[in-house]
Amino acid sequence: MAFGLLVSSMPMSSAAQDGSGLDVSPFGILNNSVANLHVTPDAVWVGPYLNVSIDRGASWFVPETDSLFGSPNRLFSIDIEGDTILAGLGRADNSGGESVQTASGFLVSNDGGQTFQFRFPQLDDPSADTQEYGISILPALPVIVPQQSPPFDVDIDPLTGDFWVAGWASGVRRSRDGGRTWERVVLPPDDLDQIRPDQAYSFSFEPRRGSNGSLNHMGFSVLVDEIGTVWAGTAGGLNRSQDGGVSWDKFKADGTSRSLTGDWIISIEEQPTGQQPVIWMATWNTSESGGGTGQFGVTLTRDGGATFEQTLPGERVYDFAFDGPRTWVAGDGGLFFSDDFGRSWNSITDFRDQANPTRRIREDADVFSVEVSGGVLWVGTSQGLLRSLDGGMTWALFRVDVPLDPDAPTESVPRVDTYAYPNPYSPGADGFIRIKYDAGASSSATIRVFDFGMNLVREIREDGASGVTESLWDGRDDRGVQVANGAYFYEVAVGSQRSRGKILVIE
């Protein structure tokens, strides 16, 4: 009986290297849920563990970052300008009895990912109860804890190199020193459509808490476009600054087709044109969470905010990518593309295998992210990473790939009968842990999870299991209660055969 544990970090001594200087991952990508992507002409970077490929996915590398794999931290956002990489980290904090998205800091590289430095979260001094804005001194609420301030979006100013972050309760912030320190950026309150530094104000600068504060001081997204305009998406609308983040104009949904589709601006991206870039925004229906106006959909502006156009009404959209005049959109309804600025759309929900175009792959996958570069289209889904070399007609699928019985076993890829991934496992961040095993020709399998004292925690029965199979555990016991942090053992029973493994739960 083999005892399988997917190690918590790549053993640097056994990982191969090539000219990149990065360690080769023997597992491929390290998580199948790919919510974050970023491509450069030479590489594709993949969350939630910042894996990178420089050969279109033929091999995957693991940057040496002890703040990610083996911890509850996950990649929440990423931007790259030249050799500078800014990655925002977050985690699920369950210490208060419910899962709260929490800031974990930043990873910064100035050498294209060869090395990274960790920067702490963007927090305030407890005494910072005022904020200077032009000629005004505003009362302010200092954000002193990382809970509810995850880095939902980051951006590097292509002209100045400044870092920007949208961090929900901590609002929108900027760093002028590579992420070592952060300054709060004052946006208009909910009842003002613009602010100017030479005007006197007395509004309170704080996120909405009950009836206090402003939805527009809660940051979702941020972008500095190629001509230097700063765009900030909040829970209260779209904000635009044409003087580097000092003066701001705010735009809101007003129920007409000439305004925003909604006030929750969760994503902003630019489509370069060589002149005025086209700015695309994803809005979400705010009636589910209270406050704000509007619906799920997409808004774009081709003239810097002078006018707005609406498209894809009712679609929950997460991400945009651009290939010349073509716009790609990732959303709950699948992968969309338009060649006429959203006037008409085609969609891809039927991902065909490039090796066998008659076969569909991952029909149950949610589409979270999209990127395109050099004719290569990448799509992040809940069930793996997809790549197309023919404009979306056929696809290759990349998933965590650890063979149960490798041809050449190594310390990092041993011969085992079962393994579980991701491992360590964070229920709040990962949702499920997948237990892989070979059920052979059997029609059923039973998975039992035990605590460190070998007390039965959960039993999962799989009927109809055959061949190499994956079963899911949600980190809860038989009563539905989430288990505590620690080491757990599991047993896979297929007929008279028993295979065992170990899971580390870190929340």
Considering only CA atoms, which of 70, 65, 56, 44 is closest in space to residue 114?
Answer: 65
**How far apart are the C-alpha atoms of 17 and 36, rounded to whole Å?**
25
Question: Which pLDDT tens digit goes with each residue over 21-40?
Answer: 567 777 788 888 899 999 99
Of the segments 25-29, 187-191, 288-292, which one has the largest average pLDDT value?
A: 187-191
**Per-residue pLDDT at 18 exceeds 60:** no
> Each residue of 80-120: pLDDT tens digit?
999 999 999 999 887 766 778 999 999 999 999 999 999 99
> Which segment of 27-31, 225-229, 249-253, 476-480 scores lowest on mean pLDDT?
27-31
Poorest-pLDDT segment among 151-160, 213-222, 459-468: 459-468
How far is residue 113's CA from residue 132's CA, in Å, rounded to a whole number? 36
Give residue 25's pLDDT. Answer: 75
What letter would DSSP give residue 212? B
- Could you give the domains of the chain? 23-398 (2.130.10.10), 418-505 (2.60.40.4070)
Contact 234, 240 (CB under 8 A): no
- 23: CB partners within 8 A, 6+ apart: 10, 12, 15, 16, 17, 61, 62, 64
Strands (E), 312-432: 317-323, 326-331, 334-338, 346-348, 367-373, 376-381, 384-388, 396-398, 418-421
